[in-house]
Structure 1
Amino acid sequence: MRILVMNPNTTASMTASIRATATAAAAPGTEIVATEPLWGPVSIEGHFEGYLSAAAVLDRLATLDTPFDALVMAGFGEPGREGAQELLDVPVLDITESAAQMAMMLGHAYGVVTTLDRAVPQIQDRLLTAGLLQRCAGVRGTGLGVLELEEDPERTVEVIIETARAVVRAGAEVICLGCGGMAGLDEKVAAELGVPVVDGVAAAVKFAEAVVGLGLATSRSRSFAPPRPKVIGSWPLSTHLGLGRAQGSPRNTDFSAQTSDI
């Protein structure tokens, strides 16, 4: 089984961290490959960048030439998953719903710790649309930007723990890490909090393995039927810009060759 994990931003170091977490969570025999869009924002902190990223991710998926059995989208609360479900014939899971679904199996109420406060409404909207907000005790930002998460790892963990404690006091019995850039920090946070901490990347990988293992896939009967054939000007954009495996930006080309061989 091969699972593709898609980092929605273009920061290759973050993709590498996400890939490491996904690989650690995967069962023997599951191959993890990871990549990021060929264009788009270096981090996603708001609706504008979120929708740019969604288009960039779909563009990347439309031009990817490697086979995979499931897709994990590693952006927390960001748009685009439904488009990928229409585009692809394989199961598509995102870390937002996967984390919340797993958290609800572990406690009566869960909470989310994310990056900037401006991301809170976006995550709440995503959980509401998914029907998962009712059992959410709170979503709270740490005040750290996405790229700041990598600058001082020890300080990042301290701030996440401090924020998570406030969410636990508000009634959360389980904590979800609300950013792909927090991948791999769950054990350190859980050791201090004394409650389960769910890493969305790891949760999505395990759900993907289960769905593929059961021989299931996205229903194509209605909501996620394939896109209707029509002319879309300059699509895929990366092709028209001369991007791709051979001609992509140096950062993305180097990343793919070194870590995912895509």
Structure 2
Amino acid sequence: MRILMINPNTSVLMTERMAESASHSLAPDVDLVAMTAPHGMPYISSRAEALIAGATTLEMIAAHQDGMDAVVIAAFGDPGLVAAREQFDLPITAMAEAAMHTACMLGHRFAIVTFTQVMTAWYEDAVALAGLQARCTGVRVPDVGFRSIDHVQGELEEALIELCCRAVTDDKADTIILAGAPLTGFAAKVADRVPVPLIDPLDAAVGQAALLARLRTRPARAGRFARPPSKLATGLPPALGAWIEHRT
């Protein structure tokens, strides 16, 4: 089985770290093909940036879907997820949706802990899109900054753990999602310091992508996620334009 993991951020280092982290939970027959966005932002942190990254996600799926059994969008706000499911026939998962559904399987209410305030509104939108507001206790963010996105786990480790524990005691969260691609792998490192299950969104998204691929469900041919009719596309990247025009 081959799963295409798309990092809509432009950080190659982030992609490498996510691929390495995900490798620890892969089944032996799963090959994870990791790719980094060729243009955009080092890390996505707003609705506008997510919109740009969503278009890039569609471009990358169109260009690299051949030979793949499923796709993972490796950014927590799930840029391009709904549009990608509408356009492509492969099973497609993404970190926020996968993490939230996994959290709901392990408890009734979940909290989201992330590393910067600028992502809060975008993440709240993701909860609303999933229809899970009633099961989310809220988004918690440290009130201290960080210097480097590449080292945010180390810089904010104690602050993030404290927030997780407060989400349990104050918000009565049953599970906690550690949100944001730069926090990939952090759950495994600190699991024994928080009294409820911690969810790593990438592990959840990759695991669910593999499950969906194994189910071998047929793509939608009717309804809300049937592939749209062909349409003339002007000025788009060749692979995406050809897909939209039904030339591939």
Q: Say if 1:3 and 1:143 are closer, same or farther in 2 by CA, change over 3 A.
A: farther
What one-letter code is carried by the residue in structure 1 that aligns with 2:181? G
Q: Say if 1:134 and 1:33 are closer, same or farther in 2 by CA, change over 3 A.
A: same
In the alignment, the residues of structure 1 paired with residue 156 and residue 80 of structure 2 have an alpha-carbon distance, to the nearest angstrom, of 28
Q: CA deviation at 1:117?
A: 1.4
Work out whether residues 9 and 41 of structure 1, in 8 Å CA contact, stay in contact via their aligned partners in 2: yes
Q: CA deviation at 1:122?
A: 1.4
* Further displaced range: 213-222 or 13-22: 213-222
The alignment's TM-score, normalised by the length of structure 1, stands at: 0.84
Moved over 4 A (4+): 143-147, 237-240
In the alignment, the residues of structure 1 paired with residue 85 and residue 146 of structure 2 have an alpha-carbon distance, to the nearest angstrom, of 26
Work out whether residues 43 and 146 of structure 1, in 8 Å CA contact, stay in contact via their aligned partners in 2: no
Q: Say if 1:103 and 1:230 are closer, same or farther in 2 by CA, change over 3 A.
A: same
Matches of residues 77-156 of structure 1 in structure 2 within 5 Å? 77-142=77-142, 148-151=148-151, 153-156=153-156
For structure 1, the residue ranges without an aligned partner over 5 or more in a row are 241-262
Name the structure 1 match of 2:213: 212
Q: Say if 1:239 and 1:202 are closer, same or farther in 2 by CA, change over 3 A.
A: closer
Work out whether residues 78 and 95 of structure 2, in 8 Å CA contact, stay in contact via their aligned partners in 1: no
The alignment's TM-score, normalised by the length of structure 2, stands at: 0.88
In the alignment, the residues of structure 2 paired with residue 55 and residue 12 of structure 1 have an alpha-carbon distance, to the nearest angstrom, of 19
* Further displaced range: 3-12 or 135-144: 135-144
Q: Say if 1:96 and 1:53 are closer, same or farther in 2 by CA, change over 3 A.
A: same
Name the structure 1 match of 2:14: 14
Name the structure 2 match of 1:170: 171
Residue 112 of structure 2 aligns to a residue in which SS? Answer: strand
For structure 2, the residue ranges without an aligned partner over 5 or more in a row are 242-248
Work out whether residues 54 and 80 of structure 2, in 8 Å CA contact, stay in contact via their aligned partners in 1: yes
What one-letter code is carried by the residue in structure 2 that aligns with 1:72? V
Q: Say if 1:146 and 1:51 are closer, same or farther in 2 by CA, change over 3 A.
A: farther
In the alignment, the residues of structure 2 paired with residue 221 and residue 155 of structure 1 have an alpha-carbon distance, to the nearest angstrom, of 49
Q: How many residues align?
A: 240
What is the CA RMSD across the aligned residues, in angstroms?
Answer: 2.3
